Amino acid sequence: MALQVWIDGQYFDKDQARISVWDHGLLYGDGIFEGIRAYNGRVFRLEEHLERLYRSARSVLIEIPMPLPEMAETVLDCVRRNHLVEAYIRLLVTRGVGDLGLDPRKCRRASVVVIADRISLYPPETYQAGLKLVVAGTRKNAVDALNPRIKSMNYLNNILAKIEAIQAGAAESVMLDRNGFVTECTSENIFTVRNGVLFTPTPVVGILEGITRSVVMEMARSRGTRVEEAFMTTHDLFMADECFVTGTGAEILPVVEVSGRPIGEGRPGPVTRELLSAYRDLTRTEGTPVYPEGQPLPEA
């Protein structure tokens, strides 16, 4: 059976899933989204993702045409409909169909899209070998221009920095704010380890407060590791004992080089490996069940 995509209350085959060319999400990036993972038949941190989605909607004055509990059930149903056990869920809310002008009042009803599919951002060997990053010349959007706490559909700023990484032969770019402080990568948050302390950029510099980021901070503190949200410069990256990035798609990925400088010993460090192992254990056991208890899971 073809992959099924949920659009405004109906399922469509993947090849038949369409939105209007007058949709403001397509015309102007006027919308919000979430990326969510399911592991072992459970959706991980579903409530946190949906709460962030509804906060983003409130911030940009998009009225989501369904309450949060109904949205949660729609996500679960889409995973079930596609017989998935391991899944990546992309949840989109656009302002909806309007005209060719900017006026959001012309969009009478927001549109909701739920996609559930498989994902593999990085091959398994990357988690053993680690990533090489570069520092991008493209600066992160200023908080007073487009606040990154709103998970909007407009990612051109990030894509420009991603192009820099590709052109440099690296996997990812680290983005700085206009004052030169480290913010995040194009699609992941970033952490360093120095003298046994875990550091990550403060939200003040303009980052998406990632769900995986929060989970990592929880896990580290539960193990007695000190965690600091700090103003960080590239010097802090270069001098780190360890470095890693976090994201729903990437999970926890070690970083072994930044702009040609090896991090620590130039290989994944013990804190990173421990956190990755703990995260994988957590995601296999925690989450909102997709299938009724006792029902055999579909074959992956």
Q: Could you give the residue numbers annotated as active site?
A: 151
Cα 82–chain centre separation: 22
**38/44 Cα distance (integer angstroms):** 6
Yes or no: say if 210 and 185 are a contact pair by the CB < 8 Å rule: no
Structural contact between residues 189 and 217, judged by C-beta atoms closer than 8 angstroms: no
Q: Mapping DSSP to helix (H, G, I), strand (E, B) and coil, where does residue 128 land?
A: helix
CA distance 70 to 72: 5
Q: What are phi and psi of 175, to 5 degrees?
A: -105, 135
Q: Judge residue 255's burial from the number of C-beta atoms within 10 Å of its C-beta, 0-12 exposed, 13-18 middle, 19 or more buried.
A: buried
Beta strands in the chain (DSSP E): 4-7, 10-13, 31-39, 42-43, 87-94, 111-117, 131-135, 172-176, 182-185, 189-194, 197-201, 227-230, 242-247, 251-258, 261-262, 288-289
H and E: helices and strands count for the chain: 8, 16
Q: How far is CA 17 from the centre of its chain?
A: 23
